[in-house]
Amino acid sequence: MNSVKIAEMDWVSYRDRVKHGRCKIVMPVGAIEQHGPHMSLNPDVLIPEHIACRVAERSGNMLVAPPIAYGYKSQVKSGGGNFFPGTTCVSGRSLEEYAYDVILAFMEHGNREFIVINGHYENSMFLVEAADRAVKHARLAGIELKVVLLSYWDFISEATVGKVFPEGFSGWAVEHGGVLETSIMLKIHPELVDMSRAVDIPPAEFPPYDVFPPDPSWVPESGTLSSPSKATAEKGEWILDECIEKIAKTFS
Amino acid sequence: MNSVKIAEMDWVSYRDRVKHGRCKIVMPVGAIEQHGPHMSLNPDVLIPEHIACRVAERSGNMLVAPPIAYGYKSQVKSGGGNFFPGTTCVSGRSLEEYAYDVILAFMEHGNREFIVINGHYENSMFLVEAADRAVKHARLAGIELKVVLLSYWDFISEATVGKVFPEGFSGWAVEHGGVLETSIMLKIHPELVDMSRAVDIPPAEFPPYDVFPPDPSWVPESGTLSSPSKATAEKGEWILDECIEKIAKTFS
Amino acid sequence: MNSVKIAEMDWVSYRDRVKHGRCKIVMPVGAIEQHGPHMSLNPDVLIPEHIACRVAERSGNMLVAPPIAYGYKSQVKSGGGNFFPGTTCVSGRSLEEYAYDVILAFMEHGNREFIVINGHYENSMFLVEAADRAVKHARLAGIELKVVLLSYWDFISEATVGKVFPEGFSGWAVEHGGVLETSIMLKIHPELVDMSRAVDIPPAEFPPYDVFPPDPSWVPESGTLSSPSKATAEKGEWILDECIEKIAKTFS
Amino acid sequence: MNSVKIAEMDWVSYRDRVKHGRCKIVMPVGAIEQHGPHMSLNPDVLIPEHIACRVAERSGNMLVAPPIAYGYKSQVKSGGGNFFPGTTCVSGRSLEEYAYDVILAFMEHGNREFIVINGHYENSMFLVEAADRAVKHARLAGIELKVVLLSYWDFISEATVGKVFPEGFSGWAVEHGGVLETSIMLKIHPELVDMSRAVDIPPAEFPPYDVFPPDPSWVPESGTLSSPSKATAEKGEWILDECIEKIAKTFS
Amino acid sequence: MNSVKIAEMDWVSYRDRVKHGRCKIVMPVGAIEQHGPHMSLNPDVLIPEHIACRVAERSGNMLVAPPIAYGYKSQVKSGGGNFFPGTTCVSGRSLEEYAYDVILAFMEHGNREFIVINGHYENSMFLVEAADRAVKHARLAGIELKVVLLSYWDFISEATVGKVFPEGFSGWAVEHGGVLETSIMLKIHPELVDMSRAVDIPPAEFPPYDVFPPDPSWVPESGTLSSPSKATAEKGEWILDECIEKIAKTFS
Amino acid sequence: MNSVKIAEMDWVSYRDRVKHGRCKIVMPVGAIEQHGPHMSLNPDVLIPEHIACRVAERSGNMLVAPPIAYGYKSQVKSGGGNFFPGTTCVSGRSLEEYAYDVILAFMEHGNREFIVINGHYENSMFLVEAADRAVKHARLAGIELKVVLLSYWDFISEATVGKVFPEGFSGWAVEHGGVLETSIMLKIHPELVDMSRAVDIPPAEFPPYDVFPPDPSWVPESGTLSSPSKATAEKGEWILDECIEKIAKTFS
């Protein structure tokens, strides 16, 4: 039971590790969302959980919480939209309340610092609200929490982007189910990627607004917003190495 | 990608499987809760997920949803209480809303039948409310849902109980972290059990009421409510075989 | 105005009684729920209120709050189900919020100890949440509350069960509208029982799971889950005497 | 069991009475609130329940629901304020949700018409919201509800006011615990009134605004807003006769 | 930028003004609601905002918050009802939460005193709840707030009423879109009143109860509850002068 | 009363305009948030309202709703953070519920199309949720809504950016209180800008994550995230012209 995953520890070992608030709790939050016909529905869960574990292993003072698997509703221009079969999302308030409660539950064990690693763009603002409310509620009880909130892709440098997309980068906005996420999954869960089913499409283009109910005709049929065809496990490794190193260095 | 786990399917395969509402969605719901110094914090998640997968494999018309990992607050007389480090629980309303949203999200894919497999006693009534509300909300949209809600231990026969507890059964109430859960974990995740740390105690005895804030002195120091010492993987197999067979038979 | 019922006291007398937090507030919580064609819809309210008053009279330091009459939705296997005409129930969150507010309102008068007497099984977990949240909220204001939560039937001994069911006890699960509740009502409100309408049925048997929407065919047509035919006021007296004595003794 | 009180009926009799939506459900809603040192805390519950029963007895097509006992927070200028010991009130949203749920629960039995009789001024707007939301929710299910909402005092004529207050009426605003409510209670529950404790005060005068937190010095020490000294059971009878007759006539 | 309107100040000037909690924050709360064919939909917003500004200008220690424009649902007997095109209202809980959040946001800047000026009768109880909850929440953080809640019309004297309605006053209840509001609007926003479209009607008469869904036939077709025909800017000036002077005097 | 502002119309004129669902309702949503010492707190309200009115004037089939003035909490990296005096924000759920209610209220008048113009980045996801829920709720009632959600800056072309920032554009992320918003305000509300107080700073640089509670030292003291010094009314005109023309053209 020598793990950084809290779920796999017994409570006595956990208690001894977190004593005196000396551990940071790393919380992966993801989504169950289509990522094209070539990939499983859970990259937004597995990637932040993977990064969290690697970062925790390096840091020595972090433990990884069980991921929150269901995230906020997929939006057309960032995740293809909430109408794809398999995309299985919760309301903003459910996510907010659930994450808020989880932070406060870990606080009860004496933990004071949290690093929330988000794997699904649409979660961001609801996690902001959860973190802000948790910090303020804790303060009423005389406890000072510190909650860091990050999306792992924000740690990728332009240099790495250049290496991963040698023919030019279409922008983060269309990196849903594209080279970035597919490469990472090829590295960490190749069994959940089937490149023979990858659909080669030009980057999606969207009007400068959103519409509800969403219009499925805006989205490429495959569900990805750009082509995953040039994804490789090696590219995944470059990306992960950078994210993991930087995150570990920043927060240890 | 030949799996019963929805999270591991790509969306096109999933869509083809669930077409015409022909699949039942099996939803494991658990908790992160101490189960003694000899076992990890996640048996309430892993056991229902394991059963769900085996049942789905047999049935041919079921798929397994990603488990809801954080459950309702542990109670003293069924789970040792919500004050143990590692026991990490959410409010009733968070669990209810989260489960409700997940059911309705799967409904959007055309699914009409659900089997919620609960692994944590305290979740029960909040899942009742989630199921009841989801069914009623769906009806407003002209959709008839059917949600089965079960706790796997309710499928264990007296005969199996007799085999597992040859020296007499102390009752379900104190089977927290005891022979039953430990045996199952020894069978399905032996790497998460360390029998050398198991604490041998007589079954806990409680007064016929609850008190808030809970009184930690009511609970054995180890956190289990009875002794796990006589747990074996073989006993775990007996229990699982029965649960899986009966659940598969009842709902396929 | 010499009563243990708070509702029947004037505010000055009440204030003088509860001064210095020296009184415990006993809160009966029930339900409006069918209990067969032979009995009124309110045993789950009247029984805990009766017990509360008798206990308070003995104790000298308890006062009885007006009962919360509408409880959580009746479930098939414990109350016959929420589809019977007359069964009139609220959502889990309404009950939780209402009970939570009532506890905190009594706290404002200086009261610090509460004994919630539940008369309706389905209420239990929502009262747990109300009590837990009230205690935690009070603590933010620097106030320590103590809330005891009990269901009166948990105080009945095996000896009494033996006397009441000389031909064998079918178990608590089917004691809805059966000998137990009917006997108590015959003792305390004979005008609300008409034994000539009692339907004699074998104890109900249920599958080991629940289903939503509920299936009315699971439930005996009369709505009771076992036969009330052998109910007598004398049996009711035995039960009440034991519950009242034990509860008074435990909490005075 | 020949009663207009739903709680005292068995479910079969109730079902037969409400068949075809032919009954109107009369719902008394009150409060637990101080009404001076001379009177119990429950006039706001008992008075509307009494009126409801008398109206139902006359009408032949009405049944009376169990009263909702705890109402919205007492306000200084209408009920003395929420700081008196004994005044035990819930939040607006708790009352709203609870009343909303109760209306919809009765709807499930086939009832379509409701008469909510309010006994506590402060409840009004939250009952408006409950009624409005219930009507709209029912409509989503294709059901047309009709909910009448009334405060019994609005049915008292100027002639009766003249008879009850021969020396001049100080206005409804200060009729909290004064001649009106005390007279009615003397008529229907003389055992809950002790005129020897009635405090004779001039009508309270208030500034034209409210302040939070409330200022107790605005309120007469006794808690009543005018003097109950001239209350008599006879006056109570006059008032009740008029209210009951008019309400019965208007809604039967 | 020499204004009493907070929205029109830069943050540095605002900070300097409110330092040491020396300013009172005046919060106008209104509604978007029909006021007859002769007047715009926003008198309930513009009037309290106008009064707030004039009061603040006199006082020297008040600043005016941006008005909350959308208020609680219009009721038949006070605002004509929520079914008129143009009447655009929110639920009670939305208004409550929004106002609650705004008060607490201003508290974060160091402000401790608030004067909520209500322009729409139906808002009152939801503002009561917002104010009460804000005060109590602040107290948990060790902060004492004072929130005054007023409806401007409560400051109009009988003398002024006599001058404004020389032929007799029909009562506040029917002053919706009548002489009072129209006169004020003629004074402060003549461009939003078109007296040629004013409909002359006798004061509306209503039964002593409410009904849901509301019955449009209860309401004059024009939407006003009495005639605005005799409105003049001069009368508006009398009313405003009195309200502004009294409010300024009472709270400065 | 010839206005595109709904608030300034009388209800009869409004009713005639929106008949047959032929109008689109344009809803500006903003925030009260510091924008540097040189500018008022309300650009996020005034700018979308201005654009909405100009677009509506061109289109002929649009009307402008009263703006929602208080928006979601300012974030450090987009709005300077929620700790500046003057920044006055509500919770995510308050904004969501309020906007949701407003959309549904306008729906009741027969309107079916909405264009929400957002002026405050942080509002976006909560407006997404409000729009999504409103559309789904309407559908339960058999009504199809269409809600467009846009942030005006997304309509600014690279060409215009080039003209406005001839020395190079630092990116949208730091355009808080900078050249863009200041230029627009100089054009539409020069009285609310005082360029003599504008602080010249280099563009803010932030780490690739957020932290709660926020760290004020991350933010330039002035509160703007880049320098407004080169703002001119002419630049504001260029930006507005483009936004207004494109939005009008896209949605008329």
pLDDT tens digit at each of 252 positions of chain F? 458 999 999 999 999 999 999 999 999 999 999 999 999 999 999 999 999 999 999 999 999 999 999 999 999 999 999 999 999 999 999 999 999 999 999 999 999 999 999 999 999 999 999 999 999 999 999 999 999 999 999 999 999 999 999 999 999 889 999 999 999 999 999 999 999 999 999 999 999 999 999 999 999 999 999 999 999 999 999 999 999 999 999 998
Burial (CB count within 10 angstroms: exposed 0-12, middle 13-18, buried 19+), residue D168:
exposed
Quick check: D27 pLDDT over 70? yes
What tens digit of pLDDT does each residue of A118-161 get? 999 999 999 999 999 999 999 999 999 999 999 999 999 999 99
Please name the residue of chain F whose CA is at the shortest distance from the CA of residue D142: F141
Amino acid identity of residue D92, one-letter, is G
Distance separating alpha carbons of residues B229 and B243, to the nearest angstrom: 22
Q: Which of C33, C49, C96, C175 is catalytic?
A: C33
Task: Give Cα C130 to chain centroid, integer Å.
Answer: 16
Distance separating alpha carbons of residues D7 and C41, to the nearest angstrom: 5
The residues, any chain, with a CB within 8 Å of residue E162's CB and separated by 6 or more, are E169
Q: Do chains A and B touch (3 or more CB pairs under 8 A)?
A: yes
What tens digit of pLDDT does each residue of C182-216 get? 999 999 999 999 999 999 999 999 999 999 999 99
Distance separating alpha carbons of residues A236 and A117, to the nearest angstrom: 18
Q: Which backbone phi and psi does C88 adopt, to 5 degrees?
A: -130, 95
C152 DSSP 8-state letter: G
Average pLDDT, chain F: 97
Q: Do chains D and A touch (3 or more CB pairs under 8 A)?
A: no
Q: What angle do CA E15, E16, E18 make, to 5 degrees?
A: 65
List the catalytic residues of A: 33, 35, 44, 120, 122, 176, 181
Question: How much is the pLDDT for E2?
Answer: 58
Distance separating alpha carbons of residues F1 and B208, to the nearest angstrom: 72
Taking CB atoms and an 8 Å limit, are B92 and C125 in contact across chains? yes
- Helix (H) or strand (E) segment spanning residue F2: none
Look-up of token digits 């048996």 = B43
Q: Count CB neighbours of B57 within 10 A.
A: 14
Q: Tell me the DSSP string of E25-44.
A: EEEEE--B----TTB-S-HH
Nearest to B88 by CA among A67, A88, C147, C95: A67
Question: How much is the pLDDT for B1?
Answer: 42
Query: Is pTM beyond 0.95 here?
Result: yes
User: Which residue in the set F96, F126, F208 is minimally distant from A150, CB to CB?
Assistant: F208
Taking CB atoms and an 8 Å limit, are E211 and D126 in contact across chains? no
Q: For chain B, first and last CA: distance in Å?
A: 22
Q: Tell me the DSSP string of chain A.
A: ---SBGGGS-HHHHHHHHGGG-SEEEEEE--B----TTB-S-HHHHHHHHHHHHHHHHHSSEEEPPPB---BPP-HHHHS-TTSTT-B-B-HHHHHHHHHHHHHHHHHTT--EEEEEE--GGGHHHHHHHHHHHHHHHHHTT---EEEEEEGGGG--HHHHHHH-TT----GGG-SSSHHHHHHHHHH-GGGB-GGG----PPP---SSEEES--GGGS-TTS-SS--TT--HHHHHHHHHHHHHHHHHHH-
Alpha-carbon dihedral sign for residues A89, A95, A99, A101: negative
Q: Which of D49, D96, D113, D122 is catalytic?
A: D122
Distance separating alpha carbons of residues F65 and A3, to the nearest angstrom: 56
Q: Which residues on E lie below 8 Å from C141 (Cβ)?
A: 139-140
Taking CB atoms and an 8 Å limit, are A139 and E141 in contact across chains? yes
Q: Which residues on F lie below 8 Å from B141 (Cβ)?
A: 139-140
The minimum CA-CA distance between E14 and chain A, rounded to whole Å, is 24
Q: Which backbone phi and psi does F204 adopt, to 5 degrees?
A: -65, 150
The minimum CA-CA distance between C196 and chain B, rounded to whole Å, is 35
Contact residues of A toward E, CB < 8 A: 139-140
Q: Which residues on A lie below 8 Å from C138 (Cβ)?
A: none
Q: How would you write the pLDDT of chain C (252 residues) with one tens digit per residue?
A: 458 999 999 999 999 999 999 999 999 999 999 999 999 999 999 999 999 999 999 999 999 999 999 999 999 999 999 999 999 999 999 999 999 999 999 999 999 999 999 999 999 999 999 999 999 999 999 999 999 999 999 999 999 999 999 999 999 889 999 999 999 999 999 999 999 999 999 999 999 999 999 999 999 999 999 999 999 999 999 999 999 999 999 998
Q: Which residues on D lie below 8 Å from F141 (Cβ)?
A: 139-140
Taking CB atoms and an 8 Å limit, are A90 and B105 in contact across chains? yes
Determine contact, residues B125/C179, Cβ cutoff 8 Å.
Answer: no
Band of pLDDT at residue D166, cut at 50, 70 and 90: very high
Question: How much is the pLDDT for E112?
Answer: 98
Kindly give the residue spans of alpha helices, DSSP state H, lying in chain E: 11-18, 43-59, 76-79, 92-108, 124-140, 158-164, 179-188, 233-251
Chain E and chain F share a number of CB contacts under 8 A equal to 182
The minimum CA-CA distance between F103 and chain B, rounded to whole Å, is 20
Kind of pairing, strands E113-118 and E146-151?
Answer: parallel
Taking CB atoms and an 8 Å limit, are D140 and B139 in contact across chains? no
Determine the average pLDDT of the residues in A91-116: 98
The minimum CA-CA distance between F147 and chain A, rounded to whole Å, is 5
Distance separating alpha carbons of residues A212 and F116, to the nearest angstrom: 11
Taking CB atoms and an 8 Å limit, are D66 and C42 in contact across chains? yes
User: Which residue in the set D66, D86, D110 is minimally distant from C32, CB to CB?
Assistant: D66
The minimum CA-CA distance between D237 and chain C, rounded to whole Å, is 21
User: Which residue in the set B1, B66, B84 is minimally distant from A69, CB to CB?
Assistant: B66
Q: Show which subunits contact C, needing at least 3 CB pairs below 8 angstroms.
A: A, B, D, E
Contact residues of A toward F, CB < 8 A: 72-73, 75, 82, 91-93, 96, 122, 124-126, 128-129, 131-135, 145-150, 154-155, 207-213, 250
Both tokens assigned to F154: 């997304």
Mean pLDDT by 10 residues, chain B (252 residues): 87 96 97 98 98 97 98 98 98 98 98 98 98 98 98 97 95 93 98 98 97 98 97 98 98 93
B19 DSSP 8-state letter: G
Contact residues of E toward D, CB < 8 A: 72-73, 75, 82, 91-93, 96, 122, 124-126, 128-129, 131-135, 145-150, 154-155, 207-213, 250
Q: What angle do CA E92, E97, E100 make, to 5 degrees?
A: 120
Nearest to F155 by CA among F233, F241, F71, F228: F241
Among D101, D139, D140, D143, pick the best mutation site for testing chain B contact (most B Cβ within 10 A).
Answer: D140
List the catalytic residues of B: 33, 35, 44, 120, 122, 176, 181
Kindly report the CATH class assigned to D6-251. Answer: alpha beta
Q: Which residues on F lie below 8 Å from B143 (Cβ)?
A: none
Taking CB atoms and an 8 Å limit, are E126 and D92 in contact across chains? yes
Q: Which residues on B lie below 8 Å from C172 (Cβ)?
A: none
Taking CB atoms and an 8 Å limit, are B91 and C131 in contact across chains? no
Q: Which residues on D lie below 8 Å from C80 (Cβ)?
A: none
Both tokens assigned to B6: 């929805």
Question: How much is the pLDDT for C1?
Answer: 42
Among E93, E132, E133, E140, pick the best mutation site for testing chain C contact (most C Cβ within 10 A).
Answer: E140
Q: What angle do CA B147, B153, B156 make, to 5 degrees?
A: 115
The minimum CA-CA distance between E217 and chain A, rounded to whole Å, is 36
Q: Which residues on D lie below 8 Å from E125 (Cβ)?
A: 72, 92, 122, 124-126
Question: How much is the pLDDT for A3?
Answer: 87
Average pLDDT, chain A: 97
Both tokens assigned to B178: 């005891």
Both tokens assigned to D116: 């909510």
List the catalytic residues of F: 33, 35, 44, 120, 122, 176, 181
Q: Do chains E and F touch (3 or more CB pairs under 8 A)?
A: yes
Q: Which residues on E lie below 8 Å from C140 (Cβ)?
A: 140
Kind of pairing, strands D113-118 and E24-29?
Answer: unpaired
What tens digit of pLDDT does each residue of D175-184 get? 999 999 999 9
Quick check: E156 pLDDT over 90? yes
Q: Which residues on F lie below 8 Å from A82 (Cβ)?
A: 132
